[in-house]
Amino acid sequence: MAREETFYDVIRRQGISRRSFLKFCSLTAASMGLGPAFADKIANAMEVKPRIPVLWLHGLECTCCSESFIRSAHPLVKDVVLSMLSLDYDDTIMAAAGHQAEAILDEIREKYRGKYIAAIEGNPPLNNDGMYCIVGGRPFVEQLKEVCNDAAAVIAWGSCASWGCVQAAKPNPTNAVPIDKVISGKPIIKVPGCPPIAEVMTGVVSYILTFDRMPELDRQGRPAMYYGQRIHDKCYRRPHFDAGQFVEAWDDENARRGYCLYKVGCKGPTTYNACSTVRWNDGVSFPIASGHGCIGCSEDGFWDKGPFYQRLSGIPQIGIESTADQIGGTLATAAGVAVAAHAGASAVKRLRMKSAETAAERERV
Amino acid sequence: MATLNTPNGFALDNGGKRVVVDPVTRIEGHLRVEVNVDGGNVIRNAVSTGTMWRGLEVILKGRDPRDAWAFTERICGVCTGTHALTSVRAVENALGIKIPENANTIRNLMQLCLQVHDHLVHFYHLHALDWVDVVSALSADPKATSELAQSISSWPMSSPGYFRDLKARLTAFVESGQLGPFKNGYWGHKAYKLPPEANLMAVAHYLEALDFQKEIVKVHTVFGGKNPHPNWLVGGVPSPINIDGVGAVGAINMTSLNMVAGIIQRSIDFIDQVYIPDLVAIASFYKDWTFGGGLSSTSVLSYGDIPDNANDYSMKNLMLPRGVITEGRLDRIEDPDLTDPSHIQEFVTHSWYRYPDERKGLHPWDGVTEPNYVLGPNAKGTRTHIEALDESAKYSWVKAPRWKGHACEVGPLARYIVGYARNIPEFKEPTEKLLKTLDLPVQALFSTLGRTAARGLEASWAAHKMKYFYDKLIARLKAGDRSTANTEKWEPSTWPASTKGVGFTEAPRGALGHWVKIDGGKIANYQAIVPTTWNGSPRDAEGRIGAFEASLLNTPMADPEQPLEILRTLHSFDPCLACATHVVSPDGQEMARVTVR
């Protein structure tokens, strides 16, 4: 085994100029919502840190998280995999199979005990002795526990690992559970979504590698930088909501004008994610911008929260500066504030004033 | 130790050495394969096991049928969208909903986009390492690599300097000792035949394809808001069109159409200037490796897909061909009827489920699923630590679907064989041209390499067909048609009290069908038979083996401890196990015929 190299060592030896490297650092800083000053900090981190091994496991899932990850535009997944980290195990793309693949898990757990990242896509089923998901002849849940127990930190990719997602929807025939039900004593960072946005995934990884720490997490274990606000709060169609201009039926004139999708079931008002800000696939669009309401795929239990085309009966109105934790913390206030089914512009304005007051009060506190 | 002749014409011998590959990597989901090799290290028995089970169809019961696309889309995030499309077709079929022409065109664009993306990613990122030795690329001469690249394609990224830089990057990467996804690969294996220059060129294109694939899917993002897992709609597509009015920026407009047009052209360029030339170049070094044919020369199945005009799912309107060939009779192409209980049946004799009578198969409408995880008497290890399975008993979470009793192969090769047998020029001519270029007889199609080649040809076909449908969309917009959704039967109050329907597509991996039964506005029963259920099926009651198992037989292995040959052939099917290991309704359903409207 050769010496461990830093990210910077590697890319310099690969012929990438310092100028390009610094540009990469600026883009990374921007993608994480950090100011230009952080670019230097990132550059410094990349220059002095070795590439951290990542073991990426797959339980019950559909592989949409892996597919999303490889869509990352900045950084490119090519650079993530070749230069930023060492993706030593990922059964979706790795060259080795069978014994040769399993040997890698043993080697990394031994050699990098407490120093590698376990990235988990999918979740373990607990029924049938765990044998609804078999890897190497054994229940996936065993592999999951072994790999996570020796990790420095665990990333729960997507809604499967974070919440359970589709296979855990009622009646959850396999008793599939989120990974934090079977992993304890390790920091777990949840990156929910079905799948999560590519640049959110690579942003989380970059953050950990850059600052050598977990990003700030909310009470549900999600990075506050990406999951702190509702899609509704930053939706470009929000003015239509506030003005009471709604799509009434698919492909009606209001749909063509880009009005609010609340009445056709949009879950943006109750969904915490970065879709309306980071957007999807290098910023091309996001569900609402392409005419379909948000289905709330980053929320716990979203499959069982009623049909996707049924309008929300109650929307917490806490103001756009509120975070998920604050909404939770002021739930008593929020509960009394529901948007009527036919939200009129004036009513909404009143609510907004009220929520502004609430926010102001919180500021004073 | 026993030898056995299967009813579908294969000789099995489970003596000799048992070799286990688990996990099979570079696939979607979880797959295990066990083979027996004889004294000459030739595979004489193969056992394919789906090792995951999620139960999505049970979960669908009682849900709003308009939501089913979102659930079923999560069957697979690799072939993202194809289950959703199949689902909205099934629900529309059940409810008698006709979709607008524009919606059909946009759906075709999305489905073709998936074909292009999925085939490209499969070839370079899941399959290439079965043929390409990354470490050998380190000894390539950049100038000779450039000459090779320029001799086979006009693709501009081909200078000596380009390959020199890449070689330097690759060398640095390998010398770091942290090989990442290339760690413990089978580098230097005797089954690798490419010269170093071809390996270096392929590695260059592995990385270029990784960069480019994220561009292709933006077609999904434009029309469906995101990828993976774009949004769909029963009755049409969710994206409205507004070319010139107020609010056009919030709909499909000239800017987004321009993006789609640009992606289509770039996809055509990449497929025709990189993928196809690479395919030909690599194949030319493996012409002697004729293994892996399996069922392809005898039994193939395609439902057909890509309806040219909306709402017509008849053979003449489907641009991907439809048909079943059995017993190797290319002169006798039959028409699969998804609604006929005697056509498609699933067996569980060797699957971890329980049927009232396991000698009989059940049509999807009549499906029963009761998990029954038991190992056979000759299995080695324990219930939760399997060392070797007993294929004489139950051994997989995948069921065994059969068409009129026949195990069939599905996928790009099946489609190309049906298209070839039907004498459809746009399938037959490129196939013959490729065979001629490689100086191979038509029998060469029935192989691992044939499967891989058909996928490449189909990627090119699909990219060009995207252009066709883009032009069709523009022509309709010029004619003033903006319609993208039909909402006449959106409300459940307009639905019949009880109805059923079927929807089908050709997913990248092959024939895909969804069967839905709707009672009182809710899903009463939902079934899916997916491509890898066909290809990865275990044995049936009569002992017929499925496509994976058949394809591995009689393949010589250079070193059974280094299962490169097994991976090569399995990967040629592009296995998708999250798809394959579905589950049917826990209740026995009444026998019912559906009418395909």
The string of pLDDT tens digits covering residues B94-148 is 999 999 999 999 999 999 999 999 999 999 999 999 999 999 999 999 999 999 9
Q: What is the mean pLDDT of residues A309-316?
A: 79
Q: What is the mean pLDDT of residues B9-14?
A: 96
Nearest chain A Cα distance for residue B370, angstroms: 11
Paired sense of beta strands A153-157 and A117-121, if any: parallel
Q: Is the pLDDT of residue A354 over 70?
A: no
Do you know the residue count of chain A? 365
CA angle B29, B35, B39 (to 5 degrees): 155
Statement to judge: residues A189 and A85 lie in one domain: yes
Statement to judge: residues A202 and A243 lie in one domain: no
Express each pLDDT in B57-66 by its tens digit: 889 999 999 9
- Would you call B66 an interface residue with chain A, using a CB distance cutoff of 8 Å? yes
Residue B75 with chain A: CB contacts under 8 Å: 62
Give residue A168's pLDDT band: very low, low, confident or very high (50, 70, 90): very high
Structural domain count of chain A: 2
> For residue A18, which phi and psi values (nearest 5 degrees)?
-65, -35
Statement to judge: residues A25 and A115 lie in one domain: yes
- Give Cβ neighbours of residue B179 (< 8 Å, ≥ 6 apart): A86, A88, B173, B185
Give residue A339's pLDDT band: very low, low, confident or very high (50, 70, 90): very low
With an 8 Å Cβ cutoff, are B169 and A82 in contact? yes
DSSP B282-345: HHHHSTT-----TTTTT-EEE--EEESSTT--SGGGEEE--EEE-TT-TT--B---TT-TTTEE
Q: Is the pLDDT of residue A309 over 50?
A: yes
Statement to judge: residues A309 and A212 lie in one domain: no
Per the structure block, which two tokens stand in for A169?
């929807």
Q: Check residue A38 and give its pLDDT.
A: 63
Q: Is the pLDDT of residue A64 over 80?
A: yes
Distance (Å, whole) CA B539 – CA B536: 10
Q: Which domain holds residue A125?
A: 7-227
CATH assignment of the domain containing A244: 4.10.480.10
**Interface subset of B 479-518, CB within 8 angstroms of A:** 482-485, 487, 490
With an 8 Å Cβ cutoff, are B67 and A308 in contact? yes
Q: Check residue A22 and give its pLDDT.
A: 76
Nearest chain B Cα distance for residue A167, angstroms: 6
DSSP state of B444: G
Q: What is the mean pLDDT of residues B440-464?
A: 98
Is A158 domain-assigned?
yes
Statement to judge: residues A253 and A151 lie in one domain: no
Residue B218 with chain A: CB contacts under 8 Å: 281-282, 284
Is A207 domain-assigned?
yes
Is A199 domain-assigned?
yes
- Give Cβ neighbours of residue A133 (< 8 Å, ≥ 6 apart): A59, A60, A122, A124, A125, A139, A140, A141, A174, B30, B51, B52, B53
CATH assignment of the domain containing A22: 3.40.50.700
Note if the bond before B230 is cis, omega within 30 degrees: no
3-state secondary structure of A22: helix
With an 8 Å Cβ cutoff, are A292 and B485 in contact? no
Statement to judge: residues A86 and A165 lie in one domain: yes
- Give Cβ neighbours of residue B213 (< 8 Å, ≥ 6 apart): A70, A71, B117, B120, B121
Paired sense of beta strands B400-403 and B498-507, if any: unpaired
Are A140 and B384 in contact by the 8 Å Cβ rule? The answer is: no
Is A357 domain-assigned?
yes
With an 8 Å Cβ cutoff, are A195 and B228 in contact? yes
- Which residues on adjacent β-strands are paired with residue B401? B346
Q: What is the mean pLDDT of residues B385-396?
A: 97
Distance (Å, whole) CA A273 – CA A192: 8
- Would you call B423 an interface residue with chain A, using a CB distance cutoff of 8 Å? no
Is A91 domain-assigned?
yes
Q: Check residue A304 and give its pLDDT.
A: 97
Give residue B589's pLDDT band: very low, low, confident or very high (50, 70, 90): very low
- Cβ atoms within 10 A of the Cβ of B245, count? 12
Q: Is the pLDDT of residue B323 over 70?
A: yes
Statement to judge: residues A189 and A297 lie in one domain: no
Q: What is the mean pLDDT of residues B192-197?
A: 98
Is A258 domain-assigned?
yes
Distances in Å between the alpha carbon of B564 and those of A97, B22, B117, B190, B571?
A: 9, 13, 25, 9, 10
- Residue B235, by phi and psi: left (phi above 0), alpha (psi -120 to 50) or beta? left
Statement to judge: residues A263 and A213 lie in one domain: no
Statement to judge: residues A201 and A325 lie in one domain: no
Nearest chain B Cα distance for residue A63, angstroms: 5
Is A21 domain-assigned?
yes
- Would you call B20 an interface residue with chain A, using a CB distance cutoff of 8 Å? yes
- Candidates B76, B97, B110, B184: best to mutate against A (most CBs of A within 10 A) is B184
Q: Domain boundary at A159, A193, A227, which?
A: A227
Give residue B277's pLDDT band: very low, low, confident or very high (50, 70, 90): very high
Closest residue by Cα to residue A104 from B561, B183, B32: B183
3-state secondary structure of B451: helix
Q: Check residue B258 and give its pLDDT.
A: 97
Q: Check residue B592 and give its pLDDT.
A: 27
**Average per-residue pLDDT in chain A?**
84
**Closest Cα in chain B to A249:** B487
Alpha carbons within 13 A on the beta-carbon side of A163: 23
Candidates B59, B211, B247; nearest CB to A78: B211
Give the number of beta-carbon pairs within 8 Å between A and B: 342
Are B150 and B162 in contact by the 8 Å Cβ rule? The answer is: no
Q: What is the mean pLDDT of residues A313-340?
A: 49
With an 8 Å Cβ cutoff, are B214 and A71 in contact? yes
Q: Domain boundary at A195, A227, A259, which?
A: A227
Distance (Å, whole) CA A194 – CA A209: 24
Q: Is the pLDDT of residue A350 over 70?
A: no
With an 8 Å Cβ cutoff, are B490 and A58 in contact? no
Statement to judge: residues A197 and A267 lie in one domain: no
Is A86 domain-assigned?
yes
Candidates A98, A236, A303; nearest CB to B21: A98
Q: Check residue A327 and give its pLDDT.
A: 54
> For residue B361, which phi and psi values (nearest 5 degrees)?
-95, 165
Distance (Å, whole) CA B583 – CA A165: 17
**Closest Cα in chain A to B123:** A93
Distance (Å, whole) CA B228 – CA B81: 8
- Which residues on adjacent β-strands are paired with residue B346? B362, B401
Q: Domain boundary at A227, A252, A275, which?
A: A227
Q: Check residue A323 and give its pLDDT.
A: 60
Statement to judge: residues A306 and A351 lie in one domain: yes
Helix (H) or strand (E) holding B529: strand B522-529
Express each pLDDT in A270-291 by its tens digit: 999 999 999 999 999 999 999 9
Statement to judge: residues A146 and A292 lie in one domain: no
